[in-house]
């Protein structure tokens, strides 16, 4: 399965949702997640993210392991998103900032 990781937080570019063949992205206030039971591992979303926040769970960067559980948990409660929208207003400023997990709004 593929996982949305920390660098999506406060960016939320949403380019990823347009290419997903099974529409398995779910949207929170400042982050998206992938439903692990719905993702078919097609890998189409990974290169679409301008923030490079999407990885296969087998190839997660160091320290991003908690996002496996965060994606699974929040995909159960957040609404589905299938169409691209504008990124968050300060997306460029937040892109690449470390330690954004504390900024995650649920």
20 counts as binding ligand F3S under rule CB under 6 A: no
71 counts as binding ligand F3S under rule CB under 6 A: no
Which C-beta is closer to ligand SF4: that of 41 or that of 90?
Answer: 41
User: Among candidates 45, 55, 79, which has minimal Cα distance to 6?
Assistant: 55
Please provide residue 66's backbone torsions phi and psi, each rounded to the nearest 5 degrees: -60, -20
Distance CA 97, CA 30 (A): 14
Distance CA 105, CA 65 (A): 19
- x-or-dash pattern for ligand SF4, window 29-58, by CB under 6 A? -----x----xxxxxxx-------------
Q: Smallest gap, in angstroms, from Cβ of residue 7 to ligand F3S? A: 7
Distance CA 76, CA 84 (A): 21
Binding site for ligand F3S (CB under 6 A): 4, 8, 11-16, 32, 48-49, 51, 53-54
């Amino acid at each position: 399965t593929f996982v949305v990781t920390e660098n999506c937080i406060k960016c939320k570019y949403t380019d990823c949702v347009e290419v997903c063949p099974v529409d398995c992205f779910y949207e929170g206030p400042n982050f998206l997640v992938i439903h692990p039971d719905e993702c078919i591992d097609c890998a189409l979303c990974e290169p679409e993210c301008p923030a490079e926040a999407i990885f296969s769970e087998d190839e997660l960067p160091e320290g991003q392991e908690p996002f496996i559980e965060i994606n699974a948990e929040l995909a159960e409660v957040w609404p589905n998103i299938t169409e691209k929208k504008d990124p968050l207003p300060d997306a460029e400023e937040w892109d690449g900032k470390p330690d954004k997990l504390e900024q995650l709004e649920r």
